[in-house]
Amino acid sequence: EHPHKKARTSQYPGSKVEQSQVPNEKVPGRSNGQSTNLLRTLLALSWPSPCGQTLQWGKGTSFLNSTKGMGMLKEGARMACMSLKMADPEILQVRQGLVGRGLLRPWVPNRAADPISTRWKKDGTGNKVTHPVSERSILQFVAIKRKDRGEWAISGGMVEPGEKISTTLKREFGEEAMSSLQKSRAETQELKKQLHKLFSQEHFVVYKGYLVDPETHNAWMQTEAVNYHDETGEAMDELPLEAGDDAKKVKWVDVTDQLRLCARHSQFIQFVAETRGAHWSEGTCPRCREY
Ligand code: RP5
Ligand code: MG
Ligand code: MG
């Protein structure tokens, strides 16, 4: 599936605004640094553009479709290309006809971080539970149910300005899976120690990059997902899970291909399961199957 498909074929979340059906070949890759640089430059030029703070995505759509809007966009692109010494203003083509920030706060990439905390599923006697069909050990991860969209997800959140990703990963897990914002000062200190211990464990970066989620031409998501795994389960088992902030529920969930999570979160979890040799699907060759 084309990575940018969802953003072009459905309504913008929480609205009745249809995203236009831009064909694949007309979509410039967001991995293309030039596109991002160009947008940055356009914003830095502070030319009266459709990217202006006052335009919302709804209004922006009609503005952009107007002759005046398109003219300004092209002129801005031309100026930006001149300043970047780039040849092709077409790189700033309209992706799905929506301009402005939509649901997102910052312009251009909105950085998020997704902590994936895992442990092995155990039975009453402390032995690992294996799946009867795949015969692989079953992994569990901490899932939250989002308040806004009601979907199950990883307890991720946005990177605050100037914040290190490693801090965001800990902070968001604390806020959404341990309700840290509701704790007293003493409890917060204790919680910080627990989180520090958890997040100092063995970990690896699962994914880093563009994320299909609410987006417009000018504001989109990118994330860094990191897996923190507790092999013995000692630290994770003691965790007093309590939903907070963006989360209305939190629980340990078995990892399988039946998971339906928001954004690309199921793919992140699949990658963790396969990397750790855990159960994912009932098929004999999970990597050969199409999901
Ligand atoms: C997802 O939304 C990201 O992967 C991350 O989990 C989350 C960040 O947004 P908020 O939870 O702060 O709304 O796209
Ligand atoms: Mg949050
Ligand atoms: Mg969140």
Q: What is the pLDDT of residues 42-54, one digit of tens each?
A: 333 322 333 333 3
The protein residue with its alpha carbon nearest to ligand 1, atom 13, reads 157
66 contacts: CB under 8 Å, gap ≥ 6 = none
Does 157 sit in the ligand 1 pocket, CB within 6 Å? yes
Does 115 sit in the ligand 1 pocket, CB within 6 Å? no
Which of 13-27, 180-194, 215-229 reaches the highest mean pLDDT?
Answer: 180-194
pLDDT > 70 fraction of the chain, expressed in percent and rounded: 55
pLDDT at position 160: 85
Greater model confidence, 124 or 31: 124
With 60 as the cut, is the pLDDT of residue 15 above it?
Answer: yes
Helix (H) or strand (E) holding 205: strand 203-211
pLDDT at position 121: 96
Cα(99) to centroid of ligand 3, in Å? 24
Cα(288) to centroid of ligand 1, in Å? 30
Q: What is the pLDDT of residues 130-146, one digit of tens each?
A: 999 999 999 999 999 99
Cα(155) to centroid of ligand 1, in Å? 8
The protein residue with its alpha carbon nearest to ligand 1, atom 9, reads 157
Q: What is the pLDDT of residues 159-176, one digit of tens each?
A: 887 889 999 999 999 999
Mean pLDDT of the chain: 72
Question: Could you list which residues have their CB under 5 Å from ion ligand 3?
Answer: 157, 246
Give the amino acid at 270.
Answer: Q
- Residue 284 — very low, low, confident or very high, per pLDDT cuts 50/70/90? low
pLDDT at position 290: 39
Task: For residue 154, give the ligand 1 atom closest to its CA.
Answer: 6
Greater model confidence, 220 or 192: 192
The protein residue with its alpha carbon nearest to ligand 1, atom 12, reads 157
Task: For residue 146, give the ligand 1 atom closest to its CA.
Answer: 11
Q: Which ligand is nearest to the CA of 114?
A: 1
- Average pLDDT for residues 254-272, to the nearest whole number? 89
Helix residue ranges, H only, 178-243: 185-199, 234-237
Q: What is the pLDDT of residues 59-96, one digit of tens each?
A: 334 444 455 555 555 554 444 444 433 333 333 333 44
Task: Tell which residue, 224, 253, 219, 211, has the closest CA to residue 236.
Answer: 253
- Residue 103 — very low, low, confident or very high, per pLDDT cuts 50/70/90? low
pLDDT at position 141: 97
Helix residue ranges, H only, the chain: 6-9, 33-45, 57-65, 67-84, 165-177, 185-199, 234-237, 265-275
Inter-residue contact 20 to 9 (CB < 8 Å):
no
